[in-house]
């Protein structure tokens, strides 16, 4: 393919993604912050014989995740300028990926949700497998099979909900809002929660289901890593908030200790493993495990601070870690290595780059005044309110984050230049500057004045808590006697419908 | 015995069968009187296609009506019409993909098309048979034609071996089937499905041991045809040895016909004894899925891989039979239609990429295809993802349908095993795309001669796979109507 045609493809895709971003902005401005109901709802029959609809809508929880997706897309495409191999297919994959991601966050029909959830696997798999690093095939297949394994169980749970709902209301539908009204027995909730949580825990990824993540991150091209960290992982945490909590409130309460400990182990383990990495990308990948642990801890604190902090931290992690991957990608393009030992003293050659990199690093650590602080602070506030022990242990994760990030920054950017190759490095180009600056602006914005973000979530999060709280209270005494025993499966009798 | 009255001899009910027989004869005649020049042989493909199209047009009867003829041995209802459509579709697609293939392999004889048409007649008889004997006759007509077609590459040892294996084992299986039929006749005094049902109902739904044995033997006979474990051992060798176009045909048509008979016999005649046979099918379904999928992983030859995948798909379909509810039956119909598109599509790609003498069938030969022949690679990717059950392809909706049926009837465990198998299958389907897109080519792709007919077949398959995946609604409704008959 000649370069002019390639250039045209790049610019077209960039324009398309920018237009999509601009078109998504009215969602923010026209969003009614006082209503918890779904907004911008569209509902069209799709497969009427099964009661399946094309049903989309957003609330304060999905709003920012959609905006994050549409925002990161042009950034990622701009960061893919160096891709020369099969540029057309690459850009097609990126755009299909965007469709899938936005679809996941907007779907209110569980069948539609599942279709988008799986649809987005294919382009990501191709992105890693075709344009990735040396072990790309292993990483791509692992990514695909891991996610698929989790999601098929979710599919069964979705089908079970479908029949349970029919038994209760006599109506065949996959409408999530209808499912919210279901009163499920604890045993059913228990198993359905497990099926959903399994899919989401793999996606987050929570310890011990995280092993696909370092491989996928390290082998993916820069833009793939950005999208993976920025958006795909959020689907897992989003799933917990959107499905597990309101659909299975009692089960969610029962699982608080399990999920919280998994999150805490993830926080500490991710941080410790990050510390010993000598590959920049691997370091950032493991830091994701740690950061997402915080998000999960916040969500399972079951109070407004925790959940809002969790959602804010999803956005923050998307911005900071996305930016970190971009920075690592820029270094890799210059030196074709990601080993920390191959760098050192870059500040002297690349002062502008050093400044930007430092801001991003600090944002990832959670320095007050930058976005990371807001999220982590809220999460810990929420966690302290519900269980002091969890919060105390998790706080050590923040210290560890400072250790591994700052140590990494020091080794890469400070000291004397010891490698000849590093003496000729160029500072950021205009394109690279244009990639990082929007991210850094938002990092500051959320850090200094987070209110416009938080206020839009209030109504939805409060409603979510009401949903989970009210339903959970009805069996709160049931909960104590059921924590120790695994309930017997009786979905069989519950779903068995007449012929 | 009541004498056959002329009133029950309804010629309209067998019109598609008559058309296909007529065209089969025409093909044979034209073949005799045409010279050995290739040009005139090409004509035969078009004549056969015309026959298939005419049969499809005249085979349509007003929906909702049920027509019995030949003394209630033969019935045309929505159920058989749906299956007839699947058979004609697979036959049509097979003719499209055969045209260039049999020229390349130099097996361009007129009988080829005639036999395909005749076996289609057998399938139609199986789907329309209202008693055990007409189903049996249909099965024989279908099988004998396919035994011959399997060995059509006369000069190739592997083709002969496949044919002989299929014939010998197939003869055994039909023996079992016939034995089963006679036991059932002995026990109930009837071969008509409705009469068997009312006999069992008259006995309070409790079958006697002879009837149970008959049912077991029928499961063996039909299990062989649909390639269910443990009656699957012929599948890999026969699929590998048969001409590729026939492998495509065999993996779709006879399997669909087998399930057509399976469902009709077990739902109509043995519906009330569901508890008796459902345990056997339950075990067969698990074995078939698991063994098919696990062995498929180890295959290096694409035809063998697709053979094991075909076994696995039979396993998923058996889940629907275990569930034995409306959703399961209509799910089977939907799944078989989806499977027709994706499987024939996949084999069409295999044909395009192979060389004379069926070379280049190793999966590794596909390395680097992705960017050398983007159209073929995209089509293959589509079919593979569809078979793996990834949305928005037809295969996903089919699996969703069947697992829903299982959960509806309360077979959660079976559904769980089904989805685990589905994940196992992802591995080997994904490997094809890995090799096509992510590996460097190991060989030069010889200049491919792609005939327009095979391209048409591939495009039809792609459209079908996507359409059933994205807009399944219409077909689902038709499939649901078709199942009302069996109750």
* B438–chain A nearest CA distance, Å: 5
Residues A338 and A279: beta-carbon distance below 8 Å: yes
Q: Identify the weakest region by mean pLDDT among A315-324, B26-35, B432-441.
A: B26-35
pLDDT at B6: 46
A49·B427 Cβ contact <8 A? no
Q: How far B21 CA lies from chain A's nearest CA (Å)?
A: 38
Q: Which of A48, A126, A153 sits opposite B437 (nearest CB)?
A: A126
CB spacing of B407 vs A495 below 8 angstroms? yes
Q: Please check the confidence at residue B183 and state whether its pLDDT lies above 90.
A: yes
Whole-number pLDDT of residue B62: 54
What ipTM, to 2 d.p.? 0.90
Angle between helices A371-386 and A430-448 (to 10 degrees): 40
CB contact under 8 A, B416 and A156: yes
Q: Which of B370, B419, B439 comes nearest A152 by C-beta?
A: B419
To test the contact with chain A by mutation, choose from B325, B368, B412 the residue with the greatest count of A C-beta atoms within 10 A, namely B412
Residue B363 with chain A: CB contacts under 8 Å:
none
d(CA A219, CA B409): 44
3-state secondary structure chain B: CCCCCHHHCCHHHHHHHHHHHHHHHHHHHHHHHCCCCHHHHHHHHHHHHHHHHHHHHHCCCCCCCCEEECCCCEEECHHHHHHHHHHHHHHHHHHHHHHHHHHHCCCCCHHHHHHHHHHHHHHHHHHHECEHHHHHHHHHHHHHHHHHHHCCCCCCHHHHHHHHHHHHHHHHHHHHHHHHHHHHHHHHCCCEHHHHHHHHHHCCCCCCHHHHHHHHHHHHHHHHHCCCCCCCCHHHHHHHHCCHHHHHHHHHHHHHHHHHHHHHHHHHHCHHHHHHHHHHHHHHHHHHHHHHHHHHHCCCEHHHHHHHHHHHHHHHHHHHHHHCCHHHHHHHHHHHHHHHHHHHHHHHHHHHHCECCCECCEHHHHCCHHHHCHHHHHHHHHHHHHHHCCCCCHHHHHHHHHHHHHHHCCCHHHHHHHHHHHHHHHHHHHHHHHHHHHCCCCCCCCCCCCCHHHHHHHHHHHHHHHHHHHCCHHHHHHHHHHHHHHC
Over the stretch A408-454, which tens digit does the pLDDT of each residue have? 998 888 888 888 777 888 888 888 888 899 999 999 999 888 888 88
Helix (H) or strand (E) holding A487: none
Rounded Cα distance between B252 and B237, Å, is: 17
Residues of A in contact with B395 (CB under 8 A): none
The minimum CA-CA distance between B475 and chain A, rounded to whole Å, is 10
User: What is the least distance, in Å, from the CA of B197 to any CA of chain A?
Assistant: 18
Q: Which residue's entry shows tokens 């409130």?
A: A249
Picking from B410, B419, B431, the nearest residue to A155 by CB comes out as B419
Please judge whether A156 and B419 are an interchain contact, meaning their C-beta atoms are less than 8 angstroms apart.
yes
Q: Which chain B residues have a beta carbon less than 8 Å from that of A129?
A: 434, 437-438
Which chain A residues are closer than 8 Å to B427 by Cβ?
Answer: 141, 145
| Closest CB to A160 among B390, B407, B476 | B407
| Residue A478 pLDDT | 46
Using the 8-state DSSP alphabet, how is residue A414 labeled?
A: S
Q: What is the pLDDT of residue A72?
A: 92
Q: Report CA-CA distances (Å) from B84 to B87, B126, B464, B480.
A: 5, 10, 17, 16
Burial of A20-52, coded b for 16+ CB within 10 Å and e otherwise, reads bbeebeebeeebeeeebebbeeeeeebbebbbb
* CA dihedral for A21, A26, A32, A36, sign (positive or negative): negative
A152/B404 CB distance under 8 A: no
Question: Cβ–Cβ of B476/A152 closer than 8 Å?
Answer: no
pLDDT of residue A492: 46
Instruction: Write the Ramachandran bin of B441: left for phi over 0, alpha for psi from -120 to 50, otherwise beta.
Output: beta
- pLDDT value of residue A6: 86
**Alpha-carbon torsion angle A100, A101, A105, A106, nearest 10:** -40
Cα torsion at A467, A470, A472, A473 (round to 10°)? Answer: 170
Q: What token pair was written down for B232?
A: 């699957």
Per-residue confidence band for B118, with pLDDT thresholds at 50, 70 and 90: very high
Interchain CB contact of B480 with A (< 8 Å): yes
Q: Which residues of B touch A160 (CB under 8 A)?
A: 407, 412
- A75 vs A94: CA distance, rounded Å: 12
- A484 band by pLDDT with thresholds 50, 70 and 90: very low
**A152·B472 Cβ contact <8 A:** no
Give the residue from chain B lying closest to A121, CA to CA.
B390
Residue A44's Cβ-side half-sphere holds a number of Cα atoms within 13 Å equal to 4
Dist CA A203 CA A220 (whole Å): 16
A window 93-132, beta carbon within 8 A of B: 111, 114-115, 118-119, 121-122, 125-126, 129-130
pLDDT, averaged across chain A:
87
The pLDDT tens digits of the residues spanning B216-233 come to: 999 999 999 999 989 999
> Model confidence over B279-328: pLDDT tens digits?
999 999 999 999 999 999 999 999 999 999 999 999 999 999 999 888 99
pLDDT of A473 reads 57
Q: Which residues of B touch A497 (CB under 8 A)?
A: 408-409
- B412 interfaces chain A, CB cutoff of 8 Å: yes
Cα B442 to chain center, whole Å?
34
Q: How many CA atoms lie within 13 A of A214 on its CB side?
A: 17
Distance from CA of A448 to the nearest CA of B (A): 43
Task: State percent of chain B over pLDDT 70.
Answer: 94
pLDDT digits (tens, 9 = 90+) for A106-161: 999 999 999 999 998 999 999 998 898 888 899 999 999 999 999 999 999 999 99
Of residues B22 and A484, more confidence is placed in: B22
pLDDT band of residue B9 (cuts 50, 70, 90) is: low
Mean pLDDT of A373-390: 89
Out of A89, A119, A129, closest to residue B391 by CB:
A119
A459 and chain B in contact, CB less than 8 A: no
Longest Cα–Cα distance in chain B = 71
Residue among A136, A149, A152 minimizing CB distance to B438: A136
Q: How far apart are CA A380 and CA A263, in angstroms?
A: 13
Other beta carbons less than 10 A from residue B40's beta carbon = 14
Q: Is B459 on the interface with A (CB under 8 A)?
A: no
**Cα B267 from Cα B77, distance rounded (Å):** 15
Q: Where are chain A's structural domains?
A: 258-448
Q: What is the pLDDT of residue B108?
A: 78
pLDDT at A35: 84
Task: Give the per-residue pLDDT at A495.
Answer: 45
pLDDT band at A349 (very low <50, low <70, confident <90, very high): confident
A·B CB contacts under 8 A:
97
pLDDT of residue B39: 56
Q: What are the percentages of helix, strand and coil residues in chain A, rounded to 5? A: 75, 5, 20
d(CA B397, CA B333): 12
Which of A116, A159, A172, A192 to mutate to probe the B interface, most B CBs <10 Å? A159
Per the CB < 8 Å rule, is B423 touching A118?
no
Closest Cβ–Cβ partner in B423, B431, B473 for A152: B423
Q: Do A499 and B326 touch (CB under 8 A)?
A: yes
Q: Is the pLDDT of residue A244 over 60?
A: yes
Q: What is the pLDDT of residue A322?
A: 92
Q: Using CB atoms, which residue from B391, B403, B423 is nearest to A115?
A: B391
Nearest residue, CB atoms, B385 vs list A122, A145, A495: A122
Q: What are phi and psi of A325, to 5 degrees?
A: -65, -35
Task: Give tens-digit pLDDT for B46-89.
Answer: 889 999 999 888 877 655 567 777 777 888 888 888 999 999 99
The pLDDT of residue A469: 76
What's the gap in Å between the CA of B447 and the closest CA on chain A? 21
Nearest to A137 among B392, B403, B438 (CB): B438
pTM for the whole thing? 0.91
CA distance A308 to chain B (A): 33
pLDDT number for residue B76: 83
Q: How confident is the model at residue B38 (pLDDT cuts 50, 70, 90)?
A: low
A497 contacts B423? CB cut-off 8 A: no
**pLDDT cut 90: percent of chain A above it:** 48
Q: What are phi and psi of A45, to 5 degrees?
A: -65, 140
Q: B437, A129: Cβ pair inside 8 Å?
A: yes
Substitution target from A93, A140, A144 for chain B, most B beta carbons within 10 A: A144
Quote the tokens at residue A260: 């919280």
Interface of A with B in 131-190 (CB under 8 A): 136-137, 140-141, 144-145, 148-149, 152-153, 155-156, 159-160, 162-163
Residue bearing the bigger pLDDT, A249 or A485: A249
For chain B, give the mean pLDDT.
88
Element (H, E) at A11: helix A3-29
Tokens in use for A17?
């993604």
pLDDT of residue A474: 52
Contacts of B409 in chain A (CB under 8 A): 496-497
Q: For A341-364, what is the mean pLDDT?
A: 88
């Amino acid at each position: 393919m000649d370069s002019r045609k390639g250039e045209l493809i790049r610019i077209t895709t960039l324009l398309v993604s920018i237009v999509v971003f601009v078109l998504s902005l009215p969602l923010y401005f026209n969003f009614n912050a006082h209503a918890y109901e779904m907004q911008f709802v569209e509902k069209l029959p799709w497969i009427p014989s099964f009661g399946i609809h094309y049903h989309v809508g957003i609330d304060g929880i999905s709003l920012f995740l959609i905006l994050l997706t549409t925002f990161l897309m042009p950034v990622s495409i701009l960061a893919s300028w160096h891709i020369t191999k099969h540029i057309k297919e690459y850009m097609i994959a990126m755009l299909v990926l965007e469709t899938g991601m936005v679809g996941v966050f907007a779907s209110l029909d569980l069948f539609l949700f599942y279709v988008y959830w799986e649809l987005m696997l294919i382009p990501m798999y191709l992105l890693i497998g075709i344009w990735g690093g040396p072990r790309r095939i292993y990483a791509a297949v692992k990514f695909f099979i891991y996610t698929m394994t989790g999601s098929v169980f979710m599919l069964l749970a979705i089908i079970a909900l479908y029949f349970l709902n029919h038994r209760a209301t006599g109506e065949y539908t996959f409408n999530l809002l209808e499912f919210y009204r279901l009163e499920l027995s604890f045993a059913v909730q228990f198993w359905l929660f497990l099926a959903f949580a399994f899919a989401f825990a793999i996606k987050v990824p929570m310890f011990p289901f995280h092993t696909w993540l370092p491989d996928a991150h390290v082998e993916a091209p820069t833009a793939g890593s950005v999208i993976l960290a920025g958006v795909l992982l959020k689907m897992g945490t989003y799933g917990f908030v959107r499905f597990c909590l309101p659909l299975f409130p009692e089960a969610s309460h029962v699982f608080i200790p399990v999920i919280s400990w998994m999150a805490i182990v993830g926080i500490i383990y991710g941080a410790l493993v990050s510390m010993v990495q000598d590959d920049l990308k691997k370091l950032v990948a493991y830091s994701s495990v740690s950061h997402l642990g915080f998000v999960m801890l916040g969500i399972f604190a079951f109070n407004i601070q925790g959940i809002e902090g969790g959602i804010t931290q999803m956005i923050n992690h998307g911005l900071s870690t996305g930016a970190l991957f971009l920075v690592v990608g820029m270094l890799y393009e210059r030196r074709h290595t990601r080993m920390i030992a191959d760098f050192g003293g870059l500040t002297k050659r690349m002062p502008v780059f050093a400044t930007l990199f430092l801001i991003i690093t600090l944002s990832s650590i959670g320095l007050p005044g930058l976005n990371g602080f807001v999220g982590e602070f809220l999460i810990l506030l929420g966690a302290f309110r519900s269980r002091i022990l969890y919060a105390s242990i998790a706080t050590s994760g923040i210290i560890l984050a400072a250790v591994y990030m700052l140590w990494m920054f020091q080794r890469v950017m400070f000291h004397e230049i010891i490698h000849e190759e590093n003496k000729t490095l160029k500072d950021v180009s205009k394109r690279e500057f244009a990639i990082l600056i929007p991210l850094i602006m938002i990092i500051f914005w959320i850090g200094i004045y987070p209110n416009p973000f938080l206020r839009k979530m209030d109504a939805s999060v409060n409603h979510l808590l009401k949903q989970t709280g009210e339903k959970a209270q009805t069996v709160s005494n049931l909960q104590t006697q059921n924590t120790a025993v695994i309930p017997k499966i009786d979905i069989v009798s519950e779903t068995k419908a007449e012929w | 015995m009541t004498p056959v009255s002329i009133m029950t001899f309804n010629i309209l009910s067998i019109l598609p069968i008559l058309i296909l027989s007529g065209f089969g004869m025409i093909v044979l005649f034209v073949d005799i009187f045409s010279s050995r020049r290739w040009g005139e042989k090409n004509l035969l493909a078009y004549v056969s296609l015309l026959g298939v199209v005419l049969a499809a047009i005249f085979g349509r009867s007003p929906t909702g009506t049920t027509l019995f003829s030949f003394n209630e041995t033969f019935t045309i209802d929505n159920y058989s019409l749906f299956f007839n459509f699947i058979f004609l579709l697979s036959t049509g697609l097979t003719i499209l993909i055969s045209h260039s293939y049999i020229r390349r392999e130099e097996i361009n004889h007129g009988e080829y098309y005639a036999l395909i048409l005749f076996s289609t007649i057998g399938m139609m008889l199986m789907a329309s048979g209202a008693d055990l004997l007409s189903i049996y006759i249909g099965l024989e007509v279908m099988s004998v034609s396919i035994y011959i077609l399997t060995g059509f590459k006369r000069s190739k040892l592997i083709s002969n071996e496949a044919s002989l294996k299929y014939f010998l084992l197939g003869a055994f299986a039909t023996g079992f089937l016939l034995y089963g039929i006679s036991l059932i006749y002995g026990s109930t005094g009837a071969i008509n499905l409705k009469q068997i049902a009312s006999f069992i109902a008259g006995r309070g739904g409790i079958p006697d041991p002879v009837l149970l044995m008959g049912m077991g033997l029928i499961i063996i006979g039909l299990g062989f045809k649909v390639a269910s474990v443990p009656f699957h051992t012929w599948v890999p060798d026969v699929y590998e040895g048969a001409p590729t176009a026939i492998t495509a045909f065999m993996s779709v048509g006879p399997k669909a016909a087998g399930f057509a008979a399976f469902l009709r016999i077990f739902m109509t005649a043995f519906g009330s004894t569901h508890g008796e046979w459902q345990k056997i099918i339950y075990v067969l379904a698990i074995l078939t899925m698991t063994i098919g999928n696990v062995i498929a992983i180890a295959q290096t030859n694409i035809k063998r891989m697709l053979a094991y995948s075909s076994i696995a798909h039979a396993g998923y379909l058996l889940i629907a039979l275990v569930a034995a509810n409306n959703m399961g039956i209509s799910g089977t119909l939907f799944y078989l239609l989806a499977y027709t598109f994706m499987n024939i599509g996949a084999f069409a790609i295999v044909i395009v990429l192979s060389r004379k003498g069926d070379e280049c069938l190793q999966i590794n030969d596909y390395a680097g295809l992705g960017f050398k022949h983007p159209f073929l690679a995209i089509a293959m990717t589509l079919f593979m993802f569809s078979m793996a059950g990834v949305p928005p392809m037809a295969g996903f909706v089919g699996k969703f349908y069947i697992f829903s049926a299982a959960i509806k009837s309360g077979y959660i465990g079976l559904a769980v095993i089904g989805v685990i198998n589905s994940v196992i299958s992802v591995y080997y389907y994904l490997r094809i795309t890995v090799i096509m897109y992510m590996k460097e080519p190991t060989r030069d792709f010889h200049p491919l001669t792609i005939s327009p007919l095979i391209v048409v077949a591939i495009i039809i398959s792609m459209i079908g796979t996507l359409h059933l995946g994205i807009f399944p609604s219409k077909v689902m409704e038709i499939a649901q109507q078709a199942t009302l008959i069996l109750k």
